Structure 1
Amino acid sequence: MTRHALVFGASGLIGRHLMLTLAADGADVTAAVRTPESGARVERWLRDHGLARSIATAIVDFDAEEILAGGPSAFADVTEIHQCAGDFRFGMSVEEARRGNVDLVEKVVDFAAGIPDLQRVVYVSGYRVGGQDPAGVPWSAERRAATYAELGAYEASKMEADAVFQARAAERGVPWTMVNPATVIGDSRTGETDQQIGIASSIGQLWEGRLAALPGDERTFLPVLTVDHLAAFMVAAAADPAAAGHAYWVLDDDTPPLADLLGHVGRHLGVKVPRLRLPVGLLTRLPQSITKADPETLTFLSSDRYPTASARELAARHGIQTPDVRVSLERWGDHLAAHRFGAAPAGDRRFVDVGGVRTFEVGVAGSDRVILPGLPVNADTWAGVARSIGARAVDLPGLGLSGGSGVEDWDTWLASLVGADGPVHLVGHSVGAAAAVLAADRFPGRVGSLTLVAPFFLQGRMPASVRVRPLVRHWLRHTDPLRLSRQLTGSDLHAEDLVSSVGDLRRRTAGRVAAQLARAGSEQWRGELREALARFDGPVRIVTGSDDPLASDVAGQLARRNVELVIVPGAGHHPQLTHGGELAAVLGVPVGSAAPTLQEPTR
């Protein structure tokens, strides 16, 4: 029999990875989604993750009499159903939680009962709620009220749904398998996830310096599980005859205690990890204004352990290996940080190792066009330009999201950045122009061309106040996007583009930016950079804004050396913010070719 899987909750984290694994295993797949737009997004995600074949989509309406058009008879060739749908959020009312979890389970089981050759329904329950007794269904009003009051609406609804699923499946003669997964984290290979609640939110607080203490003690066990491991387990369990009528606790027994887990991820991300630990008993008594934790999440802080032997046996039987939990946590943490904990969802963001420095880049991975941003902004401000010209923008050491200390890392970092596999084409902005010139001077055979955007060392001297490090550091640490936009562009219009830069400055980089700005005022360094540029015999293009010109004593010298000079009308020191389209048009043309002529925009 051809394997045909119908997946409810197809657009969620588990559903998407499950369908990818099912299709790779040769199964036909139908994604049950709530809207055509959701279906299109699911199909696009699957294509982007390497699925060459197509899947079917069906619109599900859990409020309709028939949840799928045509009813079970329209899906007569379905052999397995995976029930991943549900409402996963805290703060719901009892009615919302029951409608999104308990009622939904009943409707899926009733639908499954009408499919003639159905082999299995695989239901995703939870490690804290699994193992309920179906004999107690329906719950009494008293039990329901007490359970929901004690645990909160989300966990209680999942607990009730666990019992209801078993009872309803037995009543309707539906073959079933339940998986009770731990907290699902990102893919073990890439760290990819789009869920930001639970432990992810705690890592976000740690990243932002808002976590004053680590929760729990050496026995607090909040297990995790990578989403790809869960998907592989579900695919195997659905086809395993021995798994019918069984529930499996799927989690990594080697997950460190919660405080150690957070500390490990924090140290990997290079953030300050609190030494103080708060026992669970104390956490539950403190007000939410202090703990910053949703009360519903506190019930998950427990020393309980779970019966995982049968799940480990099934995984071993099907050759499913458990990935190293600490490595998986590091990759998950990298993905969360690179995507700014959901604030920057685009997929072309990552951390890479460059000369031993944990380096952030955005844009086309492996591109030989590399953009080095200036101060005080980060690579995010160059993301649009980078994508439009097929480049990658890379945060310098110690700046933006990159690790390292600063200029002192440049020697080994630049040597690794330009590599040895072929010439790179460097685009340096402001202080990034200094890094680009030094790379070209030290490794001329590895740098094919230079584009210098607003190179400070070829422009007039900065005001003396910019070189007063304590003053600059304080201003940068306490600025906001609106003030920074006014300072850099003279306008309020680019505040939104500077939100992430302001976050980086407040979190960790203000001092390093201040130090590099002071260094940029050094006449000795400016002279050394001019000399280094003169030694480079490759093609050079210099781009400035009409409101941010080159110094009068260097413009003529550069023109005589056949250096391309491009002026962006109306632009200042940050044309990537104010004139991104015009700048992309210039940078999209290889250096040495005729750059487009830019006209003053009509007013």
Structure 2
Amino acid sequence: MARDLSRFYPVIEQLPSSLQQTIKPIVGDLSLPRLGMSSADYELLTDVDIIIHAGGPMNIRLNAAEAERAFLLPSKELAELAVQIHRNRRLKQFIHIVGYMSPYNEENGLTDQDAALRHAPPYERSKFHADAYLRKVLHKHEIPLSTVNPSTVIGDSVTGKTEQLGGLGILVDAVRRNLMPLVPGGDKHWLPMVHLDHVASFVANLVRTDDVASNTYYLLDPRSDSPTMSALINTIATELRTMRPIGSVPPALLKTALGAAIGERLGIPSESMNFIVNRDFSVSSKTTIEDMHGKRTSLIKDTFPFVIADLDFRLSHPAFTASEGFMQKRRSKIITLERTCEGPPLVLLHGTFSSADRLMPIAERLNGHRSILVDLPGFGRSPIPRGSSLIEDCVEAVTELILELEEPVMLAGHSFGGLIAAMVMERIEPRIRKLVLLQPVLHPVSTKYRYATITDKILKCINPYSIESELRKGGDFSNGGEGMERYVEAMIRDLKSSRIRHTNAWAMSLLTQTSSFRLRPEIWNPDKVRLLRGERDDAFRLPAPFRRFDIDSLPYGHQFPIEAPLLVADWFKSSIFS
């Protein structure tokens, strides 16, 4: 059931066409009587043999009326539907997604647990009342009920993509704002977590399980295999380049403090402390299903940095949505935005104070061409570099990406990305069909960026007017139009992240050093190299060894790929793809 088909179809279209044929959407609304469905659609449901109830918002701040409408009322409607189906034909099972904090299980599911919920917030209370209601009704009619209790749901187990900013996002937001000097619970408490796609695969395997009996499944790792709260927050702080905690505090005490006016001012709901626990959960029933189907739901530790970086980016850009047709993927150490089409891939690398999505307008215009937009290490959604050299980490990451593609690519880079692209070509020249340098940085920049620590502090305090002044002074934009305004807004949002701010300061410091520009253009194949430069950019000249290649100019400044993306895309079509 979908509330909005305009949002449903783009998701389904990502599946192979053969699978799309097997899915029939029904328009409805869980919060309405008879699930908001037409009589004809409601009648269709009497022929199903499994119900999966995974509806309900992730919003711990719902009031009592909102929470009842979101959880308890839908469960009553679905229970009535399940009973009707079961009378006509046996319902194989009813799968209900609840949450690991529910006090109900197979031992006490038919008893009253109101005492345990008396002090729970409306969100949890209604959610768990719905759990109890379904347990009692379905038990009475002998309908098998599989209650799936996910722990805190985090991003995809490969890409780390986490679209909801609740849950772990609240903790990441607090750490990135340096509001976690004390760890809730320290080493004695923990936050159970599970990847979003692991929840989906577990439910899918339940559907494939025949003759299932009613059971409760906790989707989490054993406590012994999970990080303590201290380890978790230290990891987040390391990934975000923020202050590490200096001590711990009892969660109950912190919850009391957040329940006062301070919680409202800090933007940290006191209810978020409820998910930090000091208890164990049984995973035996979950393990039985996993053993049966061979699919584990354990936390992928190598993916956790991607989860944190993705949440960090989304907290800075909450309104961002990738353009239609582009998918977020993980390639080795970095995140990419990709559109799959025929033909050789075009890999696009951004510059400093930028990310993959700033080059999206160029890729959108190149409709019909396979485009791969890269978030370099520490920028955008990609985790911080692991090595001692940012430039070397960027070169290694892009090199691994291209080798992973297993076919030659067209490689383009803007500014700092142009330098990285040139270094990658020198390393794996046979895998590069064409190297396109868009206003590349090929000589040291101003020494005012020499000290990364000072640059970081300046960037932390910089305002839009100062940025605009610098851009105008440097001739980065040919005018002060919407292109510059959008760039400045995105840059200010980026700089709210200590991770991204630190990476930019580090990159600019490296670009002041002559040793960062060890290129050998004399060995490049001139048939493979094209340069496109902004002729109004006075700060970056083209060193003599690079003037032997084909060079085109546009009447713009340094940021011309961002200011005039359609013009750049048309140049690609006529000069590179023709």
Shorter chain as denominator, the TM-score bin is 0.7 to 0.9
Q: 1:453 aligns with which of 430, 438, 444?
A: 438
- Would you say 1:129 and 2:102 are equivalent positions? yes
For residues 135 and 106 of structure 1, the distance between their equivalents in structure 2, rounded to whole angstroms, comes to 16
Kindly indicate whether the alpha-carbon contact (under 8 Å) linking 2:410 and 2:432 is maintained by their aligned counterparts in 1: yes
Q: Residue type of the partner of 2:251?
A: V
1:479 counterpart residue number: 462
1:167 aligns with 2:136: yes
The answer to whether structure 1 residue 113 and structure 2 residue 83 are counterparts is yes
Shift of residue 245, structure 1, vs aligned partner: 3.6
Instruction: Please give the TM-score of this superposition, normalised by the length of structure 1.
Output: 0.75
How far off its partner does 1:167 sit?
2.7
Distance 2:178 2:194 in 1: 26
**1:481, distance to aligned residue in structure 2 (A):** 4.9
Q: 2:530 aligns with which of 537, 541, 546?
A: 541
Query: Does the 8 Å contact 1:427/1:453 carry over to 2?
Result: yes
Aligned pair in 2 of structure 1 residues 517, 83: CA closer, same or farther (>3 Å)?
Answer: closer
Rounded Cα–Cα distance in structure 1 between residues aligned with 2:20 and 2:99: 32
Cα offset, 1:310, TM superposition: 3.1
Secondary structure in structure 1 of the residue aligned to 2:268: coil
2:287 aligned partner: 312
Equivalence for 1:22: none
1:418: how far off?
6.1
Distance 1:250 1:557 in 2: 57
Relative distance call for 1:282 and 1:554 in structure 2 (3 A) is: closer
Q: What is the rounded CA distance, in whole Å, between the counterparts of 1:505 and 1:557 in structure 2?
A: 33
CA-CA distance at 1:312 after TM superposition: 2.7
Q: Does 1:565 align with 2:536?
A: no
- Rg: which structure is higher? 1
1:236 and 1:527 map into 2 onto residues whose CA distance is: 53
**Does the 8 Å contact 1:364/1:392 carry over to 2?**
yes
Structure 1 residues 459-498: aligned runs within 5 Å: 473-481=456-464, 483-485=466-468, 487-488=470-471, 489=477, 490-491=479-480, 493=482, 494-498=484-488
Alignment of 1:406 with 2:390, yes or no, is yes
Structure 1 partner of 2:351: 374
User: Matched residues in 2 for 1:214 and 1:533: separation?
Assistant: 52
Report the Cα offset of residue 579 of structure 1. Answer: 0.4
Given that 2:348 and 2:373 are in contact with CA atoms closer than 8 Å, whether structure 1 keeps it comes out as yes
Amino acid at match of 1:303: N
User: What TM-score, normalized to structure 2?
Assistant: 0.78
Contact 2:182 2:249 in 1 (8 A): yes
Q: Distance in 2 between matches of 1:236 and 1:339?
A: 31
* Equivalent in the alignment of 1:244: 213
Q: Deviation string for 1:21-48 (max 9, x for gaps)?
A: xxxxxxxxxxx11232243244235459
Residue correspondences, number = 542
Aligned CA RMSD, in angstroms, stands at 4.1
In the superposition, relative to structure 1, how do residues 41 and 341 fare at CA in structure 2: closer, same or farther (>3 Å)? Answer: farther
For the structure 1 residues 213 and 456, does the alpha-carbon distance in structure 2 shift closer, same or farther, using more than 3 Å as the test?
same
Partner of 2:232: 261
Secondary structure at the aligned position of 1:58 is classed as coil
Counterpart residue number, 1:587 = 572
TM-aligned CA deviation for residue 108 of structure 1: 0.8
CA distance in 2 between partners of 1:360 and 1:41 (Å): 21
Query: In structure 2, what is the equivalent of residue 578 of structure 1?
Result: 563
Q: 1:335 Cα deviation (Å)?
A: 4.9
**2:28 corresponding residue in structure 1:** 60
Closer/same/farther in 2, CA of residues 88 and 364 from structure 1, 3 Å limit: closer
Query: How far off its partner does 1:585 sit?
Result: 1.1
Instruction: Tell whether the 8 Å contact from 1:377 to 1:498 is kept in structure 2 after alignment.
Output: no
Structure 1 residues 373 and 485, CA gap change in structure 2 (3 angstroms): farther
Q: Compare relative contact order (CA 8 Å, sep 6+) and give the higher one, 1 or 2.
A: 2
> In structure 2, how many angstroms separate the alpha carbons of the residues matched to 1:165 and 1:436?
58
In the superposition, relative to structure 1, how do residues 365 and 212 fare at CA in structure 2: closer, same or farther (>3 Å)? farther
8 Å CA contact 2:439–2:558 kept in 1: the answer is yes
**Cα distance, 1:327 vs structure 2:** 4.3
Structure 2 residue 196 is the aligned partner of structure 1 residue 227: yes
Distance (whole Å) between structure 2 residues aligned to residue 537 and residue 256 of structure 1: 51
Give me the identity figure in percent: 22
Name which of 175, 181, 184 aligns with 2:150. Answer: 181
Alignment partner of 1:431 is 2:411 = no
> CA 1:365/1:203 → structure 2, altered by over 3 Å: closer, same or farther?
farther
The structure-2 alpha-carbon separation of the partners of 1:362 and 1:487, relative to structure 1 and needing over 3 Å to count, comes to: farther
| Contact 1:255–1:325 under 8 Å retained in 2 | no
Match of 2:474 in 1: none
CA offset at residue 469 of structure 1? 7.1
SS in 2 for 1:225: strand
CA-CA distance at 1:276 after TM superposition: 3.1
What is the CA-CA distance between 1:156 and the residue it aligns to? 0.9
Q: How do residues 19-98 of structure 1 correspond to structure 2 at under 5 angstroms? A: 32-47=1-16, 51=19, 53-61=21-29, 62-65=31-34, 67-70=36-39, 72-98=42-68
Compute the displacement of 1:57 (Å).
0.7
**SS at the partner of 2:347?**
strand
Report the residue type matching 2:296 in the other structure.
Q
Amino acid at match of 1:163: A
Letter in 1 for 2:551: L
- Identify if the C-alpha distance between structure 1 residues 469 and 318 changes in structure 2 by more than 3 Å, giving closer, same or farther: closer
- Which of 361, 364, 367 aligns to 1:384? It is 361
Deviations 1:397-452 (A, max 9, x none): 56554525434657756765665966543323223333344444565545443322
TM-superposition CA deviations, 1:44-70 (whole Å, max 9, x none): 35459x945430011123423564322
Residues 193-246 of structure 1 deviation map (CA, whole Å, 9 limit, x = unaligned)? 422211233134435655434322223133223334433443444565654343
Shift in alpha-carbon separation, 1:226–1:474, aligned structure 2, 3 A: closer
CA distance in 2: counterparts of 1:312 and 1:519, whole angstroms: 50
Query: Which AA in structure 2 matches 1:567?
Result: S
Rate the CA distance shift 1:427–1:95 in 2: closer, same or farther, 3 A: same
Cα–Cα, structure 1 residues 436 and 57, in superposed 2: closer, same or farther, change >3 Å? closer
Q: Measure the CA separation in 1 of the matches of 2:55 and 2:441.
A: 55
Q: Distance in 2 between matches of 1:103 and 1:52?
A: 31
CA contact (8 A) 2:158 2:330 kept: no
* 1:348 aligns to 2:327 (yes or no): yes
Equivalent-residue separation in structure 2 for 1:392 and 1:47 (angstroms)? 21
Residue 394, structure 1, aligned to residue 374, structure 2? yes
- Gaps of at least 5 residues in structure 1 are 1-31, 595-603
Contact 1:188 1:323 in 2 (8 A): no
